[in-house]
Amino acid sequence: MDVLELYRRTGALLEGHFLLRSGLHSPLFLQSAALLQHPLYAEAVGEALAKLFEEERVDFVIAPAIGGVVLSFVVAKALGARALFAEKDGRGGMLIRKGLTVNPGDRFLAVEDVVTTGESVRKAIRAAEALGGVLVGVGAIVDRSGGRVDFGVPFRALLALEFPQYPEEACPLCREGVPLEEV
């Protein structure tokens, strides 16, 4: 599967001047929601990501909301597991809503669309571990970390990409006067 081609085909690969959550600037941005809004593409991505972890017994798959809800669902479907999500708790962390079940000892896979620093998915992991879940792996559609992220368990992605990223003071796009877009 050519994941980058799916991003292009769905208009999910954006070019311009973007302010990333990390505070860095980049000329490229992946808008995974534009890709995952297509059920057939979402399902194909979920199945491909699930194959990377098919040797693991997984009770549930979790992702940070809102962006990871669809991805958690399609990966869980492919693995025959439950699909959960963690949402912001208003204090800088995440929580799992009542009614979504994590039993002590449940084995789980955490997924994210794009991992750069891994901080969002780490918050979802902490929420599941706080309820007794046991992390067995982390999966992503795209790894933008450059191999710098370590979750202490296998981390696998369908695609590894290195996009240019600049601090504001060293950004060539700022110097050229290209308007900055916050995404």
Residues 6+ apart with CB under 8 A from 71: 32, 36, 42, 45, 46, 49, 63, 111, 112, 113, 141
The whole-number pLDDT of residue 106 equals 98
Please state the length of the chain.
183
Residue 138, beta-bridge partner list = 110, 155
Q: Which residue has the higher pLDDT, 145 or 125?
A: 125
Half-sphere CA count of 34, side-chain side, radius 13 A: 15
The whole-number pLDDT of residue 26 equals 94
pLDDT band at 183 (very low <50, low <70, confident <90, very high): confident
Alpha carbon dihedral 8, 11, 12, 16, in 10-degree steps, equals 90
pLDDT band at 140 (very low <50, low <70, confident <90, very high): very high
Cβ–Cβ under 8 Å, residues 16 and 181? yes
* pLDDT tens profile 3-60: 999 999 999 999 999 998 778 899 999 999 999 999 999 999 999 999 999 999 999 9
- Whether 111 has a pLDDT exceeding 90, the answer reads yes
- The whole-chain average pLDDT of the chain stands at 95
The whole-number pLDDT of residue 166 equals 94
Residues 6+ apart with CB under 8 A from 93: 123, 126, 127
* pLDDT tens profile 85-99: 999 999 999 999 999
What the block records as the tokens of 103 is: 């039993």
Assessment of whether the complete model's pTM goes beyond 0.85? yes
